[in-house]
Amino acid sequence: MGSSRSEELHKAFLPYRWNARDSGFKFYKYDLNLNLEEIVALVEREKPSFVVNFAAQSMVAQSWEHPDHWFMTNVVSTIRLHDRLRHFDFLNKYIHVTTPEVYGSTEGFIKEEIPYNPSTPYAVSRAAADMSLKTFYDAYEFPVVFTRAANIYGPGQQLYRIIPRTILSVLTGKKLQLHGGGHSKRSFIHFRDVASATYKIANEGTIGETYHISTNEIVTIRELVEKICHKLGADFGACVEVAGERLGKDAAYMLDSSKIRQGIGWKDEISLDEGLDDCIEWVKLNLEDLKLLPWDYIHKP
């Protein structure tokens, strides 16, 4: 079962609806800011052994426009949820999916112990919730495990993200804005690799610990867009226009994932080239529907 404050999206974005067989997945439309009691009642009724919290107000650039919205969702409402969950003895593990944005811009591959140095309201809000959870672990032995993944991508990703937006832009002849020239460095990891890592962490991860989930393949955003253009037979210069850099944009963060690899035997399986082919196939398969859907982020308080 899963819960989100948004309506269920178009089926093109929902892997559990991609085949005719009933996956058994149940969706509940609950807003953490407005429906805490309903969420708590659902958890108490279903008594799951594991809760994985992927939810957050997550856009970085937009967090400067309404920082209080990010702090309300990512700190106040999230901590209220934690304070209720800590009383449930049936909960074996709470997997808190957080972000490497809490580290700020870094150099070289970084381990889980690096100090926080957030550079945006979004990153500060996530760091605050992480630190609160650490106190819950210390004080109450709350069974939290933290994950921080590199840039996640794959079929079904929201269209305002760089990979689907680039593919759509090329296929429809629209110019792609490349902020700051695309010089920031990132690792992109396929969602199926993230899912397998999260599953392993849920079952084998040590309570109180943090695990990085990443590949060792680093590209600049420009190189990523160039790869997509090449795969689609398009000219990079004709498809892209350079725009100003976003406020607080981190130049790089590269995650050392040796802890999860050596500690619980996980490894990534999908290369960036394979993953991009996967995304291109998904966009082409759903192109007529995707062209009609919003490509830009729509803010919800």
What's the CA gap between 70 and 46, in Å, rounded?
29
What is the average pLDDT across 173-182? 88
Binned at pLDDT 50, 70 and 90, residue 131 comes out as very high
**Is the pLDDT confidence value at 292 over 80?**
yes
- Topology of the domain covering 2-157+188-219+252-271: Rossmann fold (3.40.50)
**Is the pLDDT confidence value at 273 over 70?**
yes
**Is the pLDDT confidence value at 30 over 70?**
yes
Summary mean pLDDT of the chain: 93
**Is the pLDDT confidence value at 246 over 80?**
no
What is the average pLDDT across 54-78? 94
Among 198, 186, 199, smallest CA distance to 272 is for: 186
What's the CA gap between 301 and 297, in Å, rounded?
13
Among 250, 301, 269, smallest CA distance to 99 is for: 250
Q: What is the DSSP letter of 246?
A: P
Residue 164: the pLDDT is 97
Strand partners, 144: 94
Residue 229: the pLDDT is 97
